Structure 1
Amino acid sequence: MTDWVRNVMCWDRSRTWKWHTTADGGTREGTAHGIGADPPLGVGRAGARRDGPLRPGPRPLAARRRAVLRRHRPGRPLVHRPGPGSHRSPGRHPGPRQRPRDIPHGERSTRHPPPRAGGPRSADDVHRQIKGFTATGAAAPGEAIDFHITVDPPQEFSVDIYRIGHYGGDGACKITTSPRLSGIVQPPPLTADRTVSCHHWWLSWRLQIPTYWSIGAYVAVLTTADGYRSHVPFTVRDNHPADLLLLLPDITWQAYNLYPEDGHTGASLYHAWDETGRLLGEADAATTVSFDRPYAGAGLPLHVGHAYDFIRWAERYGYDLAYADARDLHAGRVDPTRYRGLVFPGHDEYWSTHMRRTVELAREHGTSLVFLSANTMYWQVELGPSPSGVTDRLLTCRKRRGPGKPALWREIDRPEQQLIGIQYAGRVPEPHPMIVRNADHWLWEASGAYEGEEIGGLVAGEADRYFPRTALPEHQDRILLSHSPYQDSEGSTRHQETSLYRAPSGALVFAAGTFAWSPALDRPGHVDTRIQRATANLLDRICKHD
């Protein structure tokens, strides 16, 4: 497994979701430890791109996946054993749709040796050894991604491009490497009313995306000649049909971004620094943040691992995925009604009005919705142009600071429960078991779960529940699939719930109601076969895999 991917997967070794106390007595989420601490080790095969319409009829890998799921016994891990000529991850290439086992192998990259003393080290926001961001959101094969990178001291650097996927357990595959590039020290970030922007940085490298590249989640690994390293995530998307559209929550990622985390300049929608270097709370945080800046620390967003957990699992078992970012949904660059289901794999807290309306219309059209986290669609946001006029580069959320319309969806009489079926209940300081409810429902079929069973550690981070005094969405039928008590930070007993309902259009809407669902699919130390099986039951029904 690629070591930087392994570090992204580190949630917490004790299964405890950590919250750090701030100077003002508030709390902030702890970032994943160790991200970017070691150089890439693992390799996979670069997937090829495929074009063409959906081919009707049975899908060989889907059938093989179902056979694997049927054969497994509860309590034993699901093990993927590729057959002869199988490929490690789905890809795309010209011609009729092919499943992963039919796609020819790409070029194998070279394995790197284990880290040595003086090997690659993680860059930081104080010294800015190497930091970067992309000037665009998701891009399609044939388009370009512009990287803006600062290197201090000036020296040569390189960019390794990885695609996230299963890849035989490696977690990512190195697709290409840039030539040696000349690094410069970019100007300091510009600040205005706590908004930090690097839109004035010079272009460092332009990546022209080949037409044969697979769509998916990518990470650019930036490495200086003297061994410092940082990361830049980006997405490659297209408009070809697929069963499921995976939406990466880049708007929420940016809301939490405290870059530069240097003790005086950085700000997010949660925190900022005062002149003494004290970390301030939400009341003094930014109301507008910019996409034109790197992510803090090692360069990967907080909670990015949740999305990567789902991607690795879904590609391992051959689900037909398309990819897009939340900003693509906001801007109308994707049509959700073309897919059987939309999957929101990670923490997706910040939504614009257009995002919500587009998803509501998709549900009314019959597109199913899968929310694999908690605290979804909590804050209402607006997106605006950068000072240089590029659209959707500024994110604004007024929260409770100053005049203006309320920022919580539930404060404008549009609570999230009216779409999702449950809504945010609170933080979960320590992991608690998920208690299975309605175990005879098809979601739990063949999972081995029984009524009242405890699934350890599955209620963690934050939790949702059903609010009886809040209106429900229109539905044909509705069911709660877990009811799990937990202790909040004040010692009071609260509960978490997992929800599923069928809309009048026939669309299924599932909400996990916990941060821990996606990690249970593929994160080492957190995998649970009952959750894997339940998720497969849900997606197979949405994708109409009989």
Structure 2
Amino acid sequence: MRNTSLIASLVVCSVLLAAVGADVGHASERSNPIVAENQREGSLDWQLTRVRVDGDGFRSPWIEGYCSKQSVKAGESIEIMVSTNPPQKFEIEIFRMGYYGGRGARLMTKLGPFDGVTQPDPEKGGKNLHECRWPAATTLTIPSDWLSGVYLGRLTTLPEEKNAPYWQSYVIFIVTDDRPADILFQCADNTWQAYNRWPNNYSVYTHPDGGQGPWADVSFDRPYGREAQHDAIVNDPLTVGSGEFLPFEFPLAYWLEEQGYDVAYCSNSDMLSPDRGLKCNAFISVGHDEYWDIRQFRSVEALRDAGVDLLFLSGNAVCWVTPYRASADGRPNRIMFRGGPYGADNDYAQQREREHGPFPERGPDEGLLIGARNIEPVNGGGDWIVTMPEHWMFNGTGMKPGDRIPGLIGWEYHGDAAKLPGLEIVGAGTAWVSGDVPQQWTATIYPGPRENFVFNAASIFWSQGLSSPPGHTLPWSHWSRPHGPDLRVQRITKNLLDRALKTATSAEQ
């Protein structure tokens, strides 16, 4: 006689195991370090608890700092520069950002205590350049077991007086690597720096000769102030020192690692050649990815042509040519400026030249890479509206023509689809600028030359539909805001990534 109870139990166990496998089933057959990393214990205390910005809201002089490089590999060293005003002791806690059972970060090491010194504000250089030359508070050699990711260093003052207040801010850096990975996540740190107004309203946008021209240089050798888009995000001083990562990029990183995708991370400056991306199956541009060196553009073109799938889960991407130059002490890629518009000879690029130039450089038509272009005006907000629900990317969403994902468009986006063979418009609609001025946005997908694809979500806010991790605040723009995690956005993104990885696996076989 068969033991039906045992059989039933085995069936239940099989179902549960299948469900668990589904949670981490996006990794390839090779060992997936992201899954193993996120099984480690996350931190309950990694956010800024006591943070204070100055009267202009651009900086936290009580404690602030920056790193000597945008990115670093395991075995390499990075310097951390810190200033405290008044001078006082401080410590640095280094966290890797991820899922970690919903906690969002893992404590990697604690450094210090150190004797804090008040460092001088740099003298204003040519083109309003503010380049700090502070001595290093400490040098960190990245251990061999630190996985690629975005790392926050939490700076905390250690007052000697009992019950005296302490103050906190972040530094941020990326650990990159050369390992083959399914997905390469490109942080948009050029754009973080372009908008950074430290110490006192000095960014690419604040030169007296105009906010859209080539007039201002900005340096990575300075702290990040509070997230600079005061008119496009909830007043959130908890971002001080972290660039734009927490509001616009962390929701994607958190969701990818929650789902168990095999993801590696890089900075914009790591994409000056295609080498890193060619070791991955899919490349993601995330959030507000506006400022690209020409070499980045050519590298990502090379990825597409080699069969890598490209996902522009971003808006206002590839808008401005952003040449780098070295710092005063010779470290490469530490100073940048707005060199000129992408767009080739399109009307909008010529308009920018007439209104804001002359520019020393001009980039190619970004629409021929990303599928749709940066249009004027590019600011606004609205609903993401599906136009082609029969497309495979919408499988399992239940969406019908005209269905809306509320508030997912903003605060900048893409429109004006390029004329490319096989390009399909999968979403389109109106973004409202300054209340009642309409602008049209367009989301696209087109086939690459090796059974790959290029998807353009056409919104800075796409990641807001994926997750709302600890330390994250929903942004808003032009009286419009996204609603947070949405099952449809999650499923669309899953469909895109699963197709990319399935195609890559078939190609390898």
Shorter-chain TM-score bucket reads 0.7 to 0.9
Rounded Cα–Cα distance in structure 1 between residues aligned with 2:147 and 2:423:
37
Question: For residues 105 and 510 of structure 1, do their structure 2 counterparts lie closer, same or farther at Cα, with a shift above 3 Å needed?
Answer: closer
Tell me, yes or no, if structure 1 residue 255 matches structure 2 residue 190.
Answer: no
- The Cα shift of 1:505 comes to 2.7
Q: Give yes or no for contact 1:478–1:502 (8 Å, CA) kept in 2.
A: yes
Tell me, yes or no, if structure 1 residue 367 matches structure 2 residue 308.
Answer: yes
- The Cα shift of 1:150 comes to 0.8
Rounded Cα–Cα distance in structure 2 between residues aligned with 1:114 and 1:352:
32
Rounded Cα–Cα distance in structure 2 between residues aligned with 1:167 and 1:303:
18
Tell me, yes or no, if structure 1 residue 520 matches structure 2 residue 465.
Answer: yes
Rounded Cα–Cα distance in structure 1 between residues aligned with 2:315 and 2:92:
34
- The Cα shift of 1:62 comes to 12
Q: Give yes or no for contact 2:88–2:116 (8 Å, CA) kept in 1.
A: yes
From 207, 216, 226, give the equivalent of 2:149: 216
Rounded Cα–Cα distance in structure 2 between residues aligned with 1:439 and 1:244:
26
Amino acid at match of 1:287: A
- The Cα shift of 1:466 comes to 2.6
Amino acid at match of 1:293: R
Q: Give yes or no for contact 2:289–2:317 (8 Å, CA) kept in 1.
A: yes
Rounded Cα–Cα distance in structure 2 between residues aligned with 1:323 and 1:179:
27
Superposed, 1:267-306 pairs within 5 Å as 267-272=202-207, 281-282=210-211, 286-297=215-226, 298-302=240-244, 304-306=246-248
Worse overlay, 285-294 or 439-448: 285-294
From 497, 502, 508, give the equivalent of 1:539: 497
Measured against aligned partners, the alpha-carbon deviations of 1:107-161 in whole angstroms (never above 9, x if no partner) come to: 665x45999xxx7233545661111110112111111111011111111101111
Tell me, yes or no, if structure 1 residue 439 matches structure 2 residue 389.
Answer: yes
Rounded Cα–Cα distance in structure 2 between residues aligned with 1:197 and 1:377:
25
Q: Give yes or no for contact 1:351–1:380 (8 Å, CA) kept in 2.
A: yes
Rounded Cα–Cα distance in structure 2 between residues aligned with 1:105 and 1:530:
27
Question: For residues 267 and 328 of structure 1, do their structure 2 counterparts lie closer, same or farther at Cα, with a shift above 3 Å needed?
Answer: same
Superposed, 1:144-543 pairs within 5 Å as 144-226=77-159, 227-261=166-200, 266-272=201-207, 281-282=210-211, 286-297=215-226, 298-302=240-244, 304-330=246-272, 332=273, 334-399=275-340, 403-407=358-362, 409=363, 414-426=364-376, 431-467=381-417, 472-473=419-420, 475=421, 477-489=422-434, 491-523=436-468, 525-543=483-501
Question: For residues 499 and 378 of structure 1, do their structure 2 counterparts lie closer, same or farther at Cα, with a shift above 3 Å needed?
Answer: same
Measured against aligned partners, the alpha-carbon deviations of 1:2-38 in whole angstroms (never above 9, x if no partner) come to: xxxxxxxxxxxxxxxxxxxxxxxxxxxxxxxxxxxxx
Q: Give yes or no for contact 1:246–1:322 (8 Å, CA) kept in 2.
A: yes
- The Cα shift of 1:507 comes to 2.1
Unmatched 5+ stretches in structure 1: 1-60, 69-81, 84-88, 91-95, 275-279
- The Cα shift of 1:285 comes to 8.1
Q: Percent identity?
A: 31
Q: Give yes or no for contact 1:271–1:284 (8 Å, CA) kept in 2.
A: no
Rounded Cα–Cα distance in structure 1 between residues aligned with 2:46 and 2:219:
37
Amino acid at match of 2:225: A
Q: Give yes or no for contact 1:268–1:285 (8 Å, CA) kept in 2.
A: no
Rounded Cα–Cα distance in structure 1 between residues aligned with 2:439 and 2:46:
48
Amino acid at match of 2:196: N
Rounded Cα–Cα distance in structure 1 between residues aligned with 2:59 and 2:267:
29
Q: TM-score with structure 1 length normalisation?
A: 0.74
Question: For residues 433 and 105 of structure 1, do their structure 2 counterparts lie closer, same or farther at Cα, with a shift above 3 Å needed?
Answer: closer
Figure out how many residues of one structure are paired with residues of the other and give that number: 438
Q: Give yes or no for contact 1:303–1:347 (8 Å, CA) kept in 2.
A: no
Rounded Cα–Cα distance in structure 1 between residues aligned with 2:171 and 2:118:
18
Q: TM-score with structure 2 length normalisation?
A: 0.79
Unmatched 5+ stretches in structure 2: 1-15, 160-165, 227-239, 341-352, 470-482
